[in-house]
Structure 1
Amino acid sequence: MKKLIFSILPAFLFAFISCMNMSSGSGENGSVRVALPGSGRATYTYSSSNAKKYIVRLYNDDFDQTEEGTVGGVIEFPDLEPGKYTAEAEAWNTDENILEGNGSTKITVKSGENTDCNIKMILEGQTAYYSKYMILTDYNNTKYIYDYKTVQETSTGFTLGDSYNAVEDNSGHIYHIKDSNLYKDSESVLSIDASNLIKNPLCYDNTTDTYWIGLEKIPYFYLQNSDNSYNTNVDRPLLASKGESFFNFAIQENKVYLIYIEYNDSGYNDSDSNIIYFTKDENVSLTEQKRIQLPTIGVSGTITDMAVLEDGTVAVLVRSVGVESETEGFDNTSVSNEGTVYSRGALVLLSSDLSTYKVYGWTDSARTISATNVEDAENDVTKWTSITAYVPEYEERNSYFYGPLKIVAIRPKELVIADCGANFVLPDYSGKKNGKMFTHNRLMTVNLRDFAISCKKEFSESEIKFQNLDI
């Protein structure tokens, strides 16, 4: 599932979580008592029966504590050193794992006193788009539909097989292209010319509840869409020169973002990928558009996916995987002694006009992976000493990417990204242990509030294998 949008901005007032008085103590420290919605002491202006769990965090430079509670309960923070604190609260729909609302406030705790406060919460989850499914692709291009919550393959009454990239709409229906037809679940809704499709040809814009198809009619890039009756086709050409290859695009209302690579004397270089911005009503040359390239951002490799977020932020995945090359991958390649391997990637968040950016999960420096006890290598063994690796440290594997491939789900304040790569261990000659490549096929979550990266699920290769990582 890709090229969707989510709510990063608050929608409207959700509730007040109240910090109420408790009996004063005789000590020098203070305390805070948090009354949750549903309790007799809490005040709130919007009732949401979906919010079942509340998480409250109280912190400053010297203190950081998080507590959980349920509807009608209270959370206490006793014995607090006097000073300034920040209180943050979240309301969660535990059935769907959706963040319903959050808020924060500043608190001053005084010696021997208790603190009154209100944390105004903002409703998020009920108005934001959220994926019900994750569409995962095996390396042979077979696609499977997984339930977001259980991370298990789910039955939807139809199969995707080797369809082109699939997208999920607001109602949980899945659009996908197979042969010369666009399907909504199992229903064929539009005949198309599949010979002109770009690499990732399908995009769904849930702000307008419409899908778009990317077509390549040399030397033009075209957008085509149909309304919900599937009887109105609109072509919108963007003039290109004769040397472009189009890979990805994403749309939000009238804004279009396109990934393309220029052809030069040495062929196509994925690291020279252009990210450009234009509007759907423009019929102008690519050279006239606002653009940014990977070297400008400070990352390298191949752009594998993109999406436009509801606040206009453009999310781009960059994958840098290969041996002596950042774009060739591992399949049918070999590692040489004192060679260089790459297995890294990044989530890049760009402003809507492509003028600013931030990079997350990128391994930006090399490290040396060495063999051990090389002096004990037997004469008939080729001695390895070291390789240079642009690969996350194993201890950092859950906060960095090995090679992101696809945005597979978008939830309120969260992206789920299919990540595939490897880390390496060189031989231990004294122990007669061979070197090994450890492969990873993982679903990584990015929290879009604090941009923390974590692992949601790691698959064995017998379950699913996003890319072929054999060397």
Structure 2
Amino acid sequence: MKKLLLSIISVFFFAFISCMNMSSGSSENGSVRVALPGSSRAAYSKDNADKFIVRLYNDDFDQTEEGSLGGVIEFGDLEPGKYTATAEAWNTDENILEGSGSAEIKVKAGENTDCTIKMILEGAFYSKYILFNDYDSNLYAYDYSTCTENWSKQKSYYPKENNDGYVYYYSNQGIYCTENDRHRYIENSIEGSYYDRSTDKFWILNVLYENSKYNFTLMNSTNEGDSIFNTEIKKHKVFSIINKYSSFSFAIQGDNLYFTYLGDGDDSQTIYYAKYNNTEIDIDDDVKKKIKLSDFGLSGKVTDLAVLEDGTVAALVRDANTSYEYSYPEYKYFYKIADEGTVYSRGALVLLSSGLSKVEKVLGWTDSFRTIEAKLNGSDAPYNGVPSDSQIDSITAYIPEYEERNSHFYGPMRIVAVRPKELVIADCGANFVLPDYSDKKNGKMFTHNRLMTVNLRNFAIRCKKEFNEDEIKFQNLAVSGNLESVTAGWTDLSVEDEK
């Protein structure tokens, strides 16, 4: 519990890591040399950290180096321009993140850059793993620092990491924990989970259709922590609704409960805030505050909720016009281009105040459209092209521009890791190129399965890792119509550059 107790310490000055002018760069490029604590130039006031990880990056460059007390890290041969530097100080004996910080740097041709990274302790919890599911419900745990696979489990759902680095997940009608692979049978299947780090409680959600109503029930053991494995589980019905729902998310911090669902007939999804004391909630009488996505200009579905250590509520919003269809032997999500002529593949991270009284930030949202054009050749366009019933020479796309791909979302799905002032988000969506009949170029759907980091200090969004489709797919996306065939018998699969 040491890491959890540290979280009550107020934000304080931690250290400075200094970037020094120590040598000249080339005539065209520049360089950065980072002096780590312990050297004569780097002030330091914390004795526990012995490993430092420094990352320097922009849209065209990304490099991470490690160093020890008193050492120097150099980034050389850098193209002139703006960069972001982040630093983490680690206590390797206890595997604790002692502090972190970031700074913006401008590199000039032929020069070194002088900078200072202020290191502060802003939270004690950090994820050891990046936890996510693929479209076939296989669970993957990736090491946070190296972004490489650590372990995986088939047909496992709703993973949550606790304060001690153990992972809870649901599989085969049971709750499992990676500590000695303990498990407990659950009578009914569950549809969600949440781990409250402030109370060390693991919550599970069950939804049952009874008496013509959908009953939402939260379950937890009578005591705190992992006693869910050795004490009686209490079921506490939260609320009931009559209308069928299509999505549900929830988060708990202490007695603060946040939940959201999208029911039949709802024109916009609503996020609710209520005090929860194991009693049923009347949505009309007991909800303290509610807010709709349309209230702050967003559309789509909320795919995940989380409460950060400072009480800020993080909501993921996904807006993609896909239909959910079953195609044996796997599930597929079909983009419907021909039906509407408009395609959505976008999303946002929304930061809300603890009582939902205001929206703090909306990050990564594409609020304007662009036109994706196909080049037709009049009546010579084949009858079996896209679409089959009429000739559409363009689509209206609410999709990030290609050059915005590292600063906007295609469709955020889950918050898969948490670090002090940083979130990692699983993002999945698509971009399109339409056929060029004149030059016999096929159209193509470009799918994106990515891990995106959000820096909560400067609100920068970056791509941490993008998976190829033969590696991992968060969703198995397909497109209706014959997008990749422009003429009967034409088999050249070359496409235009992605736009």
Of 351, 354, 368, 2:353 maps to 351
Deviation of the 1:263 alpha carbon:
3.4
Kindly tell me: are residues 423 and 220 of structure 1, through their superposed partners in 2, closer, same or farther at Cα, counting changes over 3 Å? Answer: same
Q: Secondary structure at the match of 1:286?
A: coil
- Say if 2:404 is the partner of 1:396: yes
Q: What aligned pairs does 1:409-448 form with structure 2 within 5 A after superposition?
A: 409-448=417-456
- Asked whether the equivalents of residues 269 and 302 of structure 2 are also in contact (C-alpha less than 8 Å), the reply is yes
Q: Secondary structure at the match of 1:141?
A: coil
Kindly tell me: are residues 142 and 440 of structure 1, through their superposed partners in 2, closer, same or farther at Cα, counting changes over 3 Å? Answer: same
For each residue in 1:411-434, what CA deviation from the matched residue of structure 2 results, as whole angstroms up to 9, or x when unmatched? Answer: 122111111111111122221001
Deviation of the 1:286 alpha carbon:
1.2
Deviation of the 1:74 alpha carbon:
8.6
- Asked whether the equivalents of residues 346 and 411 of structure 2 are also in contact (C-alpha less than 8 Å), the reply is yes
- Asked whether the equivalents of residues 49 and 91 of structure 2 are also in contact (C-alpha less than 8 Å), the reply is no
Q: Which residue of 2 aligns with 1:365?
A: 368
Q: Secondary structure at the match of 1:439?
A: strand
The range that moved more, 414-423 or 325-334, is 325-334
Of 133, 148, 157, 1:164 maps to 157
Deviation of the 1:16 alpha carbon:
5.6
Q: Secondary structure at the match of 1:405?
A: strand
Deviation of the 1:318 alpha carbon:
0.8
- Asked whether the equivalents of residues 300 and 320 of structure 2 are also in contact (C-alpha less than 8 Å), the reply is yes
- Asked whether the equivalents of residues 97 and 124 of structure 2 are also in contact (C-alpha less than 8 Å), the reply is no
Deviation of the 1:395 alpha carbon:
1.2
Deviation of the 1:46 alpha carbon:
2.4
Deviation of the 1:122 alpha carbon:
2.4
- The amino acid of 2:120's aligned partner reads I
Q: Secondary structure at the match of 1:272?
A: coil
Deviation of the 1:319 alpha carbon:
0.7
Q: Secondary structure at the match of 1:194?
A: coil
2-structure distance, mates of 1:420, 1:338: 21
Q: Which residue of 2 aligns with 1:384?
A: 392
- Asked whether the equivalents of residues 321 and 336 of structure 2 are also in contact (C-alpha less than 8 Å), the reply is no
Q: What aligned pairs does 1:184-203 form with structure 2 within 5 A after superposition?
A: 184-185=177-178, 187-195=181-189, 197=190, 199-200=191-192, 202-203=193-194
Deviation of the 1:321 alpha carbon:
1.0
Kindly tell me: are residues 260 and 89 of structure 1, through their superposed partners in 2, closer, same or farther at Cα, counting changes over 3 Å? Answer: closer
- Asked whether the equivalents of residues 7 and 309 of structure 1 are also in contact (C-alpha less than 8 Å), the reply is no
For each residue in 1:272-324, what CA deviation from the matched residue of structure 2 results, as whole angstroms up to 9, or x when unmatched? Answer: 3221111221543012311111111211111111111000111111111125x
Q: Which residue of 1 aligns with 2:290?
A: 291
- Say if 2:209 is the partner of 1:221: no
For each residue in 1:397-453, what CA deviation from the matched residue of structure 2 results, as whole angstroms up to 9, or x when unmatched? Answer: 111111111111111221111111111111222210011111111111111111111
- Say if 2:278 is the partner of 1:278: no
1-structure distance, mates of 2:72, 2:293: 49
- Say if 2:462 is the partner of 1:457: no
- Asked whether the equivalents of residues 338 and 386 of structure 1 are also in contact (C-alpha less than 8 Å), the reply is no
Deviation of the 1:385 alpha carbon:
0.9
Kindly tell me: are residues 55 and 387 of structure 1, through their superposed partners in 2, closer, same or farther at Cα, counting changes over 3 Å? Answer: closer
2-structure distance, mates of 1:184, 1:337: 45
For each residue in 1:358-405, what CA deviation from the matched residue of structure 2 results, as whole angstroms up to 9, or x when unmatched? Answer: 211011111111113545944656543111111111111111111111
For structure 2, the residue ranges without an aligned partner over 5 or more in a row are 21-32, 57-65, 74-84, 104-113, 386-390, 480-499
Q: Secondary structure at the match of 2:136?
A: coil
Deviation of the 1:237 alpha carbon:
3.1
Q: Which residue of 1 aligns with 2:136?
A: 140
- Asked whether the equivalents of residues 181 and 188 of structure 1 are also in contact (C-alpha less than 8 Å), the reply is no
Deviation of the 1:191 alpha carbon:
2.9
- Asked whether the equivalents of residues 453 and 461 of structure 2 are also in contact (C-alpha less than 8 Å), the reply is yes
Deviation of the 1:193 alpha carbon:
2.4
Q: Which residue of 2 aligns with 1:240?
A: 240
2-structure distance, mates of 1:384, 1:239: 47
- Asked whether the equivalents of residues 53 and 71 of structure 1 are also in contact (C-alpha less than 8 Å), the reply is no
What is the aligned-residue identity percentage? 49
Q: Secondary structure at the match of 1:166?
A: strand
- Say if 2:184 is the partner of 1:182: no
Q: Secondary structure at the match of 1:336?
A: helix
Of 127, 145, 155, 1:149 maps to 145
Kindly tell me: are residues 192 and 38 of structure 1, through their superposed partners in 2, closer, same or farther at Cα, counting changes over 3 Å? Answer: same
- The amino acid of 2:203's aligned partner reads W
2-structure distance, mates of 1:392, 1:120: 33
- Asked whether the equivalents of residues 48 and 91 of structure 2 are also in contact (C-alpha less than 8 Å), the reply is no
For structure 1, the residue ranges without an aligned partner over 5 or more in a row are 21-32, 57-67, 76-87, 105-114
Kindly tell me: are residues 470 and 253 of structure 1, through their superposed partners in 2, closer, same or farther at Cα, counting changes over 3 Å? Answer: same
- The amino acid of 2:135's aligned partner reads Y
- Asked whether the equivalents of residues 363 and 392 of structure 1 are also in contact (C-alpha less than 8 Å), the reply is yes
1-structure distance, mates of 2:132, 2:86: 33
- Asked whether the equivalents of residues 346 and 410 of structure 2 are also in contact (C-alpha less than 8 Å), the reply is yes
- The amino acid of 1:396's aligned partner reads E
Q: Which residue of 2 aligns with 1:107?
A: none
- Asked whether the equivalents of residues 132 and 159 of structure 2 are also in contact (C-alpha less than 8 Å), the reply is no
Deviation of the 1:38 alpha carbon:
1.4
- Say if 2:205 is the partner of 1:204: no
2-structure distance, mates of 1:291, 1:379: 52
Deviation of the 1:94 alpha carbon:
11
Kindly tell me: are residues 376 and 432 of structure 1, through their superposed partners in 2, closer, same or farther at Cα, counting changes over 3 Å? Answer: farther
Q: What aligned pairs does 1:26-65 form with structure 2 within 5 A after superposition?
A: 37-40=37-40, 43-52=43-52
Kindly tell me: are residues 222 and 385 of structure 1, through their superposed partners in 2, closer, same or farther at Cα, counting changes over 3 Å? Answer: same
Deviation of the 1:189 alpha carbon:
3.7
Q: Which residue of 2 aligns with 1:316?
A: 315
2-structure distance, mates of 1:38, 1:388: 56
Q: Secondary structure at the match of 2:321?
A: strand
Q: Which residue of 1 aligns with 2:342?
A: 340
User: What root-mean-square deviation, in Å, do the aligned CA atoms of Structure 1 and Structure 2 show?
Assistant: 4.1
2-structure distance, mates of 1:286, 1:300: 22
- Asked whether the equivalents of residues 274 and 293 of structure 1 are also in contact (C-alpha less than 8 Å), the reply is yes
Q: Secondary structure at the match of 2:295?
A: helix
Of 105, 115, 120, 1:122 maps to 120
Query: When the two structures are superposed, what TM-score results if normalisation uses the length of structure 2?
Result: 0.72
- Asked whether the equivalents of residues 36 and 52 of structure 2 are also in contact (C-alpha less than 8 Å), the reply is no
- Asked whether the equivalents of residues 321 and 330 of structure 1 are also in contact (C-alpha less than 8 Å), the reply is no
Q: How many residues align?
A: 414
